[in-house]
């Protein structure tokens, strides 16, 4: 079942709507036209009690003005580009520097702050087809990019995100979603007790501005080794240079074997108090694991007036390596005419 709801009005007078999807198992997901954002995901705990497990806001203005990209689709290039510069087909492009002299999540007005078109397809597994046309020169990226993200609420209590994009001129693309999860419920406190497991054998070290150094390093003997289940808090305070620079986890973990043709299980997260269990399936090669270290920058309260606080939610942003265009040994983020950007990520919820 899908229902449409008025959410707010932009400064230019445009009304913005959200769409609520529900399945017969009781799971519900709300998606907003602004940023194509995941506003809420409600799933049961081990006692059958429902809770909203993603952070968000009650007001449109808060999505527009606050940092953090809560729930948003980010692009054209998610994550960071060093100095906002890259070369493509012999030409140097300068992108807006919105993060310590670097470009973050698409620039000054990335996909996270645009109004997406939404088409609803109701049914046993309801779908929201969220689309955007980014014109040639948008944020100084080359090429007109046509983007579609299909949100499908599966009857197995999973949310599928199918990303598709085409271009009429060679460009770079690295799309992801920036949902903030807390499986105890977004207002349940710190995330350190979540038990995580990542099928990732390497990670990307960064400099003091969180820009990749170019190295791809083994997780062996580091806090980034989640190949066996452990809590987020277990190694959080270990003396580690990469962790110190970021104030916690804010790093790209590279999946064992890299990109796959079809989505495969790559991440598991378990919150013992609620019993909620989340599995992440994807065919992307990497994931940015972010432990909410900069949530202190969020000034507005979250839904229900709950204050945002550091490490009260985490992000699992499936993607290619950050700043790939500036590192020949990284994943390829170049998209050419005639090619199709085509990736799927599935967040599946259950209890144990």
The residues annotated with a catalytic role in the active site are 178, 317
Q: What is the token pair recorded at 182?
A: 């807390």
Residue 145 · residue 284 · CB < 8 Å = no
Residue 77 · residue 106 · CB < 8 Å = yes
> What's the 3-state SS for the chain?
CEEEEEEEECCCCCEEEEEEEECCCCCEEEEECECCCEEEEEEECCCCCEEECECCCCCHHHHHHCCCCCCCEECCECCEEHHHEEEECCEEEECCCCECCEEECCCCCCHHHCECEEEEECCCCCEEEEEEEECCCHHHCCCCEEEEEEEEEECCCEEEEEEEEEECCCEECECEECCEECCCCCCCCCCCCCEEEECEEEECCECCCCCECCCCEECCCCCCCCCCCEECCCCCCCCCHHHHHHCCCEEEEEECCCCCCCCEEEEEEEECCCCEEEEEEECCCEEEEECCCCHHHCCCCCHHHCCCCCCCCEEEEEECCCCHHHCCCCCCCEECCCCCEEEEEEEEEEEC
């Amino acid at each position: 079942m899908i229902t449409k709801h008025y959410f707010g009005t932009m400064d230019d007078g445009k009304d913005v709507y959200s769409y609520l999807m529900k399945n017969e198992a009781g799971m519900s997901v709300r998606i907003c036209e602004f940023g194509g954002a995941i506003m809420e995901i409600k799933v049961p705990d081990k006692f059958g009690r429902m809770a909203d497990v993603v952070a968000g806001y009650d007001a449109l203005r808060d999505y527009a003005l606050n940092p953090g990209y809560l729930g948003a689709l980010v692009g054209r290039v998610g994550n960071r580009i060093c100095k906002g510069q890259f070369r493509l087909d012999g030409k140097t492009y300068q992108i807006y520097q919105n993060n310590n002299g670097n470009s973050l999540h698409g620039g000054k007005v990335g996909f996270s702050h645009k109004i997406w078109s939404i088409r609803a397809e109701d049914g046993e597994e309801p779908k929201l087809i969220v689309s955007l046309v980014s014109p040639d020169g948008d944020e100084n990226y080359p090429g007109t990019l046509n983007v579609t993200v299909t949100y499908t609420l599966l009857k197995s209590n999973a949310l599928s995100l199918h990303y598709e994009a085409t271009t009429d001129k060679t460009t770079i693309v690295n799309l992801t979603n920036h949902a903030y999860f807390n499986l105890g419920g977004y207002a349940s406190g710190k995330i350190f007790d979540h038990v995580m497991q990542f099928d990732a054998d390497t990670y990307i070290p960064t400099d003091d501005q969180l820009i990749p150094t170019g190295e791809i390093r083994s997780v062996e003997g580091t806090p980034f080794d989640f190949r066996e289940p452990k809590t987020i808090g277990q190694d959080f305070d270990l003396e580690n240079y990469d962790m110190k620079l970021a104030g916690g986890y804010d790093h790209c973990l590279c999946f064992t074997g890299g990109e796959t043709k079809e989505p495969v299980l790559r991440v598991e997260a378990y919150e013992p108090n609620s019993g909620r269990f989340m599995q992440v399936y994807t065919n992307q090669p990497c994931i940015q694991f972010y432990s909410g270290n900069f949530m202190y920058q969020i000034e507005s309260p979250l839904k229900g007036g709950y204050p945002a606080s550091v490490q009260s939610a985490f992000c699992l942003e499936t993607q290619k390596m950050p700043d790939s265009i500036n590192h020949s040994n990284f994943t390829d983020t170049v998209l050419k005419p005639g090619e199709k950007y085509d990736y799927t990520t599935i967040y599946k919820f259950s209890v144990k």
